[in-house]
Each structure stands twice: as C-alpha cells, then as structure tokens.
Structure 1
C-alpha cells in the first residue's frame, strides 16, 4: 500500500515538475484596470524606472508606458539593458497587477519577473540575472 501511495505522489510530483516555476509562481494576481484605478497613483507608475542589482552597480533604464500592446502595456528598455541583465532582452511588455505589483512580460505573454513591494521598495521575484529591484527615476 505504501508503494502505491508513493507511486501516486511521485506521479503528481513529476506532473508538477513539468510545469515551469514561472507559470506556477505568477498565476494568482489579476491585472489592474488602470482606467478604473486611482488616477493619481496610476499616473506615478508611468515614466522612467531604474532596474538594478542589489549592489546598485548594474542598472538599466526602463520606461513604463500607458499604451496597450500585446501582453500588457508598452515598455521601452535602454539598448544596453540586455548586457547587464540578459532576461530583459526578452521583455516586450509590462503589466500592473493587484497589490501594485509590476510584471515584466515576454513575447509569449509570460511573466518573466515580478516586482512586489512588501514595504517601500519593489523587489524582484524570482531572482533572475541578478535583478533585485525596480525604482522610479526621480522627476524634477
């Protein structure tokens, strides 16, 4: 009997392993309707942001735009971004999610990185290419 239960557990585990961690990790939040959300807060989400590693010695400029595109909203990444963080070469859109999380999305509409703000700083999940945070660039 134990072998039967063990066999079922292994089969279930193998099925779980066949789905990517990315798919499983990002399926719980819903996209925020930016037209229905608080306009003052939403407005702060658009514009230039800096993606950086924990040490702050590698960074990338990303412009989060309001215009819709396939998979979310438009994002503009500086040409040198992929040199510092190769995963960013695959990013084609971004999404604003419940809890004000920021998802970076690839051409297949899959979330590759999620930035969540457990306190006052957005932190990357999962750790990908050393990316640690995304922060708005101060506007004058």
Structure 2
C-alpha cells in the first residue's frame, strides 16, 4: 500500500482527495517518531482537511486484527476503520458521512469529461489520415450541443453529416443524419477512437 497515492472519497465521489501511506513511524506531537509512534505515517493532500474536516485529527495508519485498516489519532485511537470489500477497494462507515472509500488513484475511473473539457476544434482521422476538421461548440441543441464541420471534409464525414454532439456514460457521441450515431471512447489524452474498434479505426484528435 505504501508509496503510491490513494483516493479518499465519499460514496458519490463529489468530495475526494489524495492520501499516501508511508512505512515509517508517525510521531506524536512534540516527540520524535521513534519515541512516540501512533502508527505509520500518513500523508494527506492539503485539500483533505478542507473537504473532510474530521481528518485533522488523523496522524497515522495501522493494520489491525482481521487486516482492518485504521486511521488513528495521536493517541492511537481509531477514527476510521476500513475493511477490504474488493481487491484494492476499502470502505469505512462514519456517522454523518455515510460510507467512505479508499482506492488506488491508478485504478480509479476518472470522472466523465464536461462539455467545456471537450469543446474546441478536433481533427477526424481514419488510420491516421485526416478526414475533416470538426468544431465542438457549447451551444445547446436538442439533447446535446452544436457541431460544425469545416469545408472540404471527406465524403465519409459528409455522408454521416453530424450536426450535434453529447457526452453519454463517459463516451463522446456524434449525432448525424438519418439518426446515425458515432460513439468514441478516450484511448489516450486528446485522442478518442470510434467504438466498436475496427481494423480501419476512426479517431478524433485534438492538436
């Protein structure tokens, strides 16, 4: 568990911050670590105590009976007790907060992008060959937002004739003529690929 950052969050993940578990002893206030360890050191991101004020009293972490993971105060008293419900996913109940979660940042699904995140000019490519320049606007249209094609687009794009776009379950959706829909998923930063995958992939790439 040590070294890599973990996400600490509420159930809705609308409040979250990062914690890092260390293997060295945590010191009690006013004492060196070796003399007054409450447990192992726990590094909290600065925003943690802003979104979760009760974390101000947490100074260390321990592993107890039945592999319970505990956040403890300077006297070693448990303030939160986590149990592992799935591999790498821990949860702890807290009165007034509901269920709180810990999971490695590396495996946490990123929140879906917002329209402002995706708005702008993109290049549609097929197997790396540019087909069209597309601008995703934030002007509402129907259930989505307006889309503009540049002049000189490939026939594959003009036949599809997209006029609107939206975000659906983390995917980028283009709505075209005759109720056609193209769906894209993010494969790397600034690159979205049409799904399902094909041997002649179509991608949307941002400069």
TM-score clears 0.5: yes
Which of 100, 103, 106 aligns to 1:138? It is 106
Q: Distance in 1 between matches of 2:55 and 2:21?
A: 13
Q: Distance in 1 between matches of 2:39 and 2:85?
A: 23
- Partner SS, residue 59 of structure 2: strand
TM-score (norm 2): 0.42
Aligned to 1:118: 85
Q: Do 1:116 and 1:125's aligned partners in 2 also have CA atoms closer than 8 Å?
A: no
Give the number of aligned pairs: 95
CA separation of 1:128 and 1:98: change in aligned 2, threshold 3 A: farther
- Partner SS, residue 138 of structure 1: helix
- 1:118 Cα shift? 3.2
The two structures, once aligned, show a CA RMSD in angstroms of 1.9
2:71 pairs with 1:104: yes
Which of 15, 19, 25 aligns to 1:62? It is 19
- Partner SS, residue 117 of structure 1: strand
Q: Do 1:51 and 1:60's aligned partners in 2 also have CA atoms closer than 8 Å?
A: yes
Which of 24, 41, 52 aligns to 1:74? It is 41
Tell me which protein shows more helix as a share of its residues. 1
Q: Do 1:94 and 1:105's aligned partners in 2 also have CA atoms closer than 8 Å?
A: yes
Q: Do 2:94 and 2:100's aligned partners in 1 also have CA atoms closer than 8 Å?
A: no
CA separation of 1:78 and 1:115: change in aligned 2, threshold 3 A: same
Larger-Rg structure: 2
Where do 4+ consecutive residues of structure 1 move more than 6 Å? Answer: none
Aligned to 1:39: none
Q: Do 2:90 and 2:101's aligned partners in 1 also have CA atoms closer than 8 Å?
A: yes
Which of 51, 68, 76 aligns to 2:8? It is 51
Q: Distance in 2 between matches of 1:129 and 1:89?
A: 15
Q: Distance in 2 between matches of 1:131 and 1:81?
A: 16
- 1:127 Cα shift? 4.1
Structure 1 unaligned segments of length 5 or more: list them. Answer: 1-44
- Higher relative contact order at CA 8 Å, sep ≥6: structure 1 or structure 2? 1
